[in-house]
Every structure is written in C-alpha cells, then in structure tokens.
Structure 1
Amino acid sequence: MSITFSKSREEMNVGYIHAYLTKSYWNEGISLEKVKKCIDNSLNFGMFQDGKQIGYARVLTDFVQFSYLMDVFIEPKLQGRGYGKMLMEHIFEDEDISQLPGMLLATKDAHSLYEKFGFKRFSEENKNRFMIFKRNETK
C-alpha cells in the first residue's frame, strides 16, 4: 500500500473531511461551507493511501512565529496502526512548519501521541499566561 501526503487544497476530499468533522467532539455539526472556508484559510495536510484520503490535519499559522494544529484525524478503522504518528512526522518535517518556534493545540484525547512530538501540557507556571475568548459563553 502506498502512503502519500499533500498540502494542495485541490487534493483534499472536502466531503470526506466534512463527514468526519461533523461527527467529531470538537466540530460536531459543522457545516460544509465552514469546512471549505477552514480549508481555504489554513495550511492543509492530507494523508492518502493508494490515492484515497485516510487522514487530515490543518495548521493555522503566520509562517513566522505562530502555529496552531487543528482537526487532526485518521480514518477510524485505521486508527492505532501508526498512521497518526506518520501524519505528525510529515507535518513536523514540512518546510513551512519546521522553521517555526513552536505550536499550540487543544485536545481531549491522543495526548500520548502529541507528547511524542514534544507537546507538553501547560505547567502551573504557564497556565495563567494563556487566555481564551469564546463568543456566546456566559461568565
């Protein structure tokens, strides 16, 4: 089986990406139009097996100082077989990413995968440096 990667927006299977994201805990119910807009405004990483998309991630970045890893997923029936690690390795080896000083991400799961690539949970000392704004949230 041949595994390939692409950053080309044109090669991303938008329907496949939408179908996964709309059922994910972080983007449940997201519209196809919003997924298209996210793809258009991000650095995309598609993973393909014999030409069929089996994984995806995107990075929001200014290409100098800031990057935020988002929407990482592998086809559910292929999870646990090292494909997530392969996708992350590809992202970190990418010329647009490898020169950046760091990266943020938010996740409820897969911490052990991300820790293999140097991601750390916020320390007590750093947790008060970060803030979040969420529209329509009370308090």
Structure 2
Amino acid sequence: MSCTALLSSSTLRAMYEISADPARLDVPRIHAWLSTDAYWALGRTLAKQESAIAGSLNFGAYHVETGEQHAYARVVTDRATFAWLCDVYVAPAARGQGLGTSLVAAARDHLTPYGLRRILLATHDAHGVYARLGFEPLADPAKWMALGLQ
C-alpha cells in the first residue's frame, strides 16, 4: 500500500465517479488486473471473467477527467437475502488514496435498500479496510462450510 495520504471524500468524489452501469466496464482491463495481479484470480480466463461479470452486480470507479476505469468490485447476490462481495481491485497507481474504501462503501450502500440479511467477503490482507466499513469476522466460523470444486 502506498504511503500517500488518503484523499478527502469530497476530493475523491471530484476525481472519481462510481457506477454500477455494466456498459461502462472495461472488461479487458478488469480481466488483466485480476488474472495477472490478484492472488485470488491468477490465471482466470477472459471467458470465465465475462461469465462472472454477466451473473453479478458490478461496480467501477472511473476517473472523471479521462473516463478510465481505476477500480472494480463485483457482488454476487439474489438481491433479497444475501450478497458476496468479491473481486475488489484498485489499479496500483490509484492505491493508497481511499478509492477502494469508497468503492466498497458505494457497493454496500447500493445494496442497503434490498434489506439483505448478510454481505460476506473473504480477504487475505485487507481486514482493516473492510472493518472501517462495518465488516466483522464471522461470529461463529465453525458454522460455515465450503465446497471447493477446483
């Protein structure tokens, strides 16, 4: 993470627009980010990424002046009871300014009207970022199970 000071929320809003419009997604860029630089998605194929995007609620953060996408987050949800926040990624040049936190906050706020019971995520190294937004470790992780197919 960069040592750059966090930008104020008003500065971030002036620099970036966060949108859930799937037509704005730069899919080749998202694929390149995730398949080459995200530990959880290394080697993911473009076809697999396109399928994941098609079945999800997607968020992009776009630089206001250039329109270039600088961050991405994906939510798998039934829009009624449950959501899984995943594939949160900020381009290296845009890190350390609070953009990831703003992106996740926007996704959380977008989901609020659905009245979901739970939003889950998994992270190897960003617990502090998510904790600032209200995420907590599972109260009883022994209740949870997973089926790994690959």
- Hey, what does 1:114 align to over in structure 2? 130
Q: Are positions 1:17 and 2:33 aligned together?
A: no
Q: 1:118 aligns to what SS in structure 2? A: coil
Which structure is richer in relative contact order (CA contacts within 8 A, separation 6 or more)? 2
Once the two structures are superposed, residues 99-119 of structure 1 have per-residue CA deviations (whole angstroms, 9 ceiling, x without a partner) of 322210011011100001111
Match of 1:2 in 2: 15
Q: How many residues are matched?
A: 132
What is the RMSD of the two structures over their aligned residues, measured on CA atoms? 1.2
TM-score (normalizing by structure 1):
0.90
Q: Which moved more, 1:1-10 or 1:45-54?
A: 1-10
2:120 counterpart (82, 92, 104): 104
Q: Per residue, is there more helix in 1 or in 2?
A: 2
State the Cα deviation string for residues 51-90 of structure 1 (Å, max 9, x = none): 1100000100011111000000111111111111111221
SS of residue matched to 2:118: coil
TM-score by length of 2: 0.84
SS of residue in 2 equivalent to 1:132: coil
Residue 51 of structure 2 corresponds to which residue in structure 1?
37
Q: Which runs of 5+ in 2 are unaligned?
A: 1-13
